[in-house]
Structure 1
């Protein structure tokens, strides 16, 4: 998977989750409410961009996934499910990648995403000495 797709999904995930939490499956067809929160509105526009590009079967699948995510009421689950959906859509549609890139704000210059995963995992952009594991004692003075 390209770094561009990963970045787009990371940026779009929170706003898409907010839109689904606010509107449920109606987010796919609802006209944007002028008074809607900017985050929810952006998430709605992203989902509607995916919606417009799908065929009938794809739309039915998208409705099912969004409805299921909205009913779950668990933001972590909703984000995971919707991120998977976005990844799949972005991988198969370069024009959708361009459209989402135009909708989403450009990442801050120098922004770095670091993920540490697993038992005793550490991560850092600029780090001095890092010692992990059992049995390590601090240096004696």
Structure 2
């Protein structure tokens, strides 16, 4: 699974969880409402739009599954479990639909850039924000492509 999908799911899951909590099972059919409070619209509203986008891009069997998962998440008392189930469904949809990845990326706010602190300590320690390959032992070579 690509890191792009993982990042999108991590970023979108709080929004879709908030939408399911705020709207319950009506999240998939609820029409746009101007009267929704600003705080709810900010988080749950974006989550609702994400779920409706997912609903629109799926065929009938996928819609039935989405309805079932949203219904279970709305009834579940454990928010962590609900977020995991919704995240898994979103992850599968993103893997199957590159266009959905683009649309979701455009909907989500840019991740906040904050300070990054990285510490490495000890012999042959390495530190980096993103590491592709790291070899710290003696006598190793990387195969060239």
Give TM-score scaled by structure 2 length: 0.76
In the alignment, which residue of structure 2 is the partner of 1:103? 107
1:80 and 2:72 aligned:
no
Residue aligning to 2:142: none
The verdict on how the C-alpha distance between 1:101 and 1:111 changes in structure 2, with shifts beyond 3 A counting, is: farther
Unaligned regions of 5+ residues in structure 2, if any? 123-145
RMSD after superposition? 1.7
Q: Which runs of 4+ in 1 moved over 6 A?
A: none
Residue deviations 1:55-77 (CA, integer Å, cap 9, x gap): 11111110001000110021101
2: CA distance, partners of 1:111 / 1:24: 36
Cα deviation code 1:77-119 (max 9, x no counterpart): 110000000000000000000000000011234677xxxxxxx
CA contact (8 A) 1:21 1:73 kept: no
1:15 maps to which residue? 15
